Amino acid sequence: MPEWIPVAAAADCPPGTSIERVAAGRMAAIANVDGSLHAIDGLCPHQGGPLGTGALCGTTLTCPWHGWQFDVTTGRHRVSATVRQAVHEVRRRDGVIEVRLHDPEPPAGPDS
Please say whether the beta carbons of 110 and 83 come within 8 A. yes
State yes or no: residue 78 binds ligand FES (CB under 6 A).
Answer: no
Among positions 19, 37, 49, 75, the unique one binding ligand FES when judged by CB under 6 A: 49
- DSSP letter assigned to residue 10: G
Please say whether the beta carbons of 41 and 107 come within 8 A. yes
State yes or no: residue 29 binds ligand FES (CB under 6 A).
Answer: no
State yes or no: residue 100 binds ligand FES (CB under 6 A).
Answer: no
Among positions 12, 16, 53, 65, the unique one binding ligand FES when judged by CB under 6 A: 65
Dist. CA 23–CA 74, nearest whole Å: 19
State yes or no: residue 74 binds ligand FES (CB under 6 A).
Answer: no
State yes or no: residue 47 binds ligand FES (CB under 6 A).
Answer: yes
Q: Is residue 42 classed as helix, strand or coil in its secondary structure?
A: coil
Please say whether the beta carbons of 30 and 38 come within 8 A. yes
Q: Which is nearer to ligand FES, 66 or 91 (CB)?
A: 66
Residues making contact with ligand FES (CB under 6 A): 44, 46-49, 63, 65-68
